[in-house]
Amino acid sequence: MSEQATTPPCIIVVFGARGDLTKRLVMPALYNLRRSGALGDEFAIVGMDHGDISERAWRTNMGQSMTQLLSSRDAEFQTDEFDTATWDWLRERMHYLRGDFTDQGAYRSLGGVLDKLHKRYGTQGNVLFYLATAARFFEPVLLNLGEAGLVRQREGEGWRRVIVEKPFGHDLPSAQHLNATVAKVLHEDQVFRIDHFLGKETVQNILAFRFANGLFEPVWNRDRIDHVQITAAETIGVEGRGRFYDPTGCLRDMVPNHLFQLLAMIAMEPPAAFTTEAMHRRRAEVIEAVRPIRPEDVVRGQYASGAVNRNAVPGYREEDTVPEDSDTETYVAMKLQVDTWRWAGVPFYLRTGKRLRERTTEIAIRFKPAPLAPFRSTEVGGYGPDWLVLHIQPDEGISLQFDVKRPGAQVALAPVRMDFRYRDWFPKEYTVGYERLLQDCMNGEAGLFQDAAMVEGAWRIVQPILDAWKQPPSDFPNYAAGSAGPSAADALLAMNGGHAWRALTPGRKPPPRRPPEARAGAATPVKKATKKIAKKASKATSKRAGKPAAKSAETGADSSSKPTKKSGVKRATKEVAKKTAKTVRKTAAGKVVATKLVSKSVAARKARR
């Protein structure tokens, strides 16, 4: 990460210190913040969990987890080189406290530990509590923090803030109940409902892309946009987290938070100012405008055994810690309508799932075709689709696909693409998405977090689906691991205007080429020249064909004693060969020159970067 402002002094307390979230995202984010210079020396970590292990063992376990992540192709934590000095600094500030989340005595012990560490590290009484636990512990942790007085803010004694992970509730009533619990213990400006998708650079860039460029806003509406696809595909399974995942499922885990937040960023109106209140209000307006979903507009799926990246993987019901008869969904696809003036009639298609063909997250916007096709009377006929694609991960950037004319005498169109990649224009920054959010929380900035109204609005949308899905599915499992998902998801789009999902690809591949028959008409210069010369030679041959034959008859007696002149056919053939070779040499020379020019251009661009 690039050099950035140092965060204020604080202690971060992680509940669920030995859990998957801490290992996979929280600790790597803190490592990246320190390596970038954002964490000052007035900083410490307290990990609290029920596991009976020593502080030294916890530190070692975290270090081993970081190393394992770096060897994984699909892990979000990546770096060119693991900086041992950064890790040593972080490890020395890691402290472990064994405690039961439901035991008030553990919180009294935590208070004593915090007092000692404030004096040791000079953290000025600032504490950030991170609830990286299973959702069932959110309420007891919040209530115990309040009862122990650990989140009470007193003037001159530092700030106290709480990060709550998703899912925030498991349905609308539970979300409302949890919000009520939060209100009992905390002021709204103390709670940060986190969604790490909003911490990703490409997601934050959506606002700059839309509102800082006059090019796109005029076409960002129902007049120009045909439909929008939002995809969050994973290749991993539950990875030993079946006890957490099975009661939750794909819908609760991904849709009311991650996907709806991406939807809100794409569909929101311009805020009057980039303040926390204005941003929350604009995003909440989108969620409120989503039309109630009908059950027939949603598809669920569960993966069977298959192969991902050429490796055999088990089905969901065969995973460790998953019941053999589980009806939990691992895939969801849905069609949404946003009933606003800007988006009326534009379908938004959302899909997410585990054990799919590729790991990719993207927002793809398909534009409507031109109102009149000037080429409709030619062989070209209609046009291919124009796409604007915002690549969230793994290859962050933006691409625009459109049609151009192929070189040649005939009119033939080909799809091409203009690409912007962060790695081509800016220094590579290895982030997991939590770095910016942790910084914002330490600085008290909540613009990239969700407020209570947004959370309840999202659950209000999906509640009818949860009610309908109480009836167990009859076709599970219904897609193979390593595929693009269940066939019913394809049918969902096909029934709505003949749409189709974009192919799942790892980053960006060349746009699809036209069928061979559409390209056959574009003759090359060599072919055209050869055809023209051969035609002339054929005429010359037919004119001369009689003369050599007559002469041969007259001199047949002494033909054996002196050689005859070359026939017209041979001369014509030689002429064709000579002219064709000359044309080929010219064409080849042109290609060499063009290749050299392209090479020089590429080298110049690299030098400028």
The residue among 136, 126, 74, 130 whose CA lies nearest residue 102 is 136
The confidence band for 562, taking pLDDT boundaries of 50, 70 and 90, is very low
Range of the domain at 43: 10-165
Residue 292 lies in a domain: yes
Tell whether 253 is in a known binding site: yes
Tell whether 101 is in a known binding site: yes
Residue 206 and residue 157 in one domain: no
The confidence band for 244, taking pLDDT boundaries of 50, 70 and 90, is confident
Tell whether 200 is in a known binding site: yes
Q: For the residues 319-342, what does the mean pLDDT come to?
A: 96
Structure tokens at 570: 């041979």
The confidence band for 68, taking pLDDT boundaries of 50, 70 and 90, is confident
- Mean pLDDT is lowest, of 53-67, 81-95, 518-532, 564-578, for 518-532
**Helix (H) / strand (E) containing 464:** helix 452-468
Residue 213 and residue 362 in one domain: yes
Q: Cα–Cα distance between 93 and 47 in angstroms, integer?
A: 11
- Catalytic residue, from 258, 280, 391, 499: name it: 258
3-state class of 562 per DSSP?
coil
Are 488 and 319 in contact, with CB atoms under 8 Å apart?
Answer: no
pLDDT at residue 276, as a whole number: 85
Burial of residue 203 (number of CB atoms within 10 Å: 0-12, 13-18, 19+) = buried
Cα 392-296-195 angle, rounded to 5 deg: 30
Residue 556 lies in a domain: no
Residue 283 lies in a domain: yes
Selected residue with higher pLDDT from 251 and 579: 251
Residue 490 and residue 578 in one domain: no
The domain that holds 17 is classified in CATH as: 3.40.50.720
DSSP symbol at 565 = P
> Which residues, other chains included, contact 566 with Cβ-Cβ below 8 Å and sequence gap of 6+?
none
Q: Which of the listed residues 118, 141, 165 is the one where a domain comes to its end? A: 165
Residue 480 and residue 609 in one domain: no
pLDDT at residue 1, as a whole number: 44
pLDDT at residue 380, as a whole number: 58
Q: Cα–Cα distance between 421 and 524 in angstroms, integer?
A: 34
Q: Cα–Cα distance between 478 and 331 in angstroms, integer?
A: 10
Residue 415 lies in a domain: no
pLDDT at residue 99, as a whole number: 93
Residue 460 and residue 594 in one domain: no
Given a cut of 50, whether residue 564 has pLDDT beyond it is: no
**Count of domains observed in the chain:** 3
pLDDT at residue 512, as a whole number: 55
Tell whether 189 is in a known binding site: no
Residue 295 and residue 268 in one domain: yes
Residue-wise pLDDT tens digits, 217-242: 899 999 999 999 999 999 999 888 88
Tell whether 52 is in a known binding site: no
The confidence band for 77, taking pLDDT boundaries of 50, 70 and 90, is low
Residue-wise pLDDT tens digits, 259-270: 999 999 999 999
Q: Cα–Cα distance between 331 and 254 in angstroms, integer?
A: 10
Tell whether 166 is in a known binding site: yes
Tell whether 402 is in a known binding site: no
Residue-wise pLDDT tens digits, 583-609: 445 444 444 444 444 454 445 444 544
pTM of the entire structure? 0.77
Q: Cα–Cα distance between 19 and 307 in angstroms, integer?
A: 27
Measured in degrees and rounded to the nearest 5, phi and psi for residue 12 equal -105, 125
pLDDT at residue 519, as a whole number: 41
Residue 242 and residue 159 in one domain: no
One-letter identity of residue 508: R
The domain that holds 234 is classified in CATH as: 3.30.360.10
The confidence band for 541, taking pLDDT boundaries of 50, 70 and 90, is very low
- 258 a catalytic residue: yes
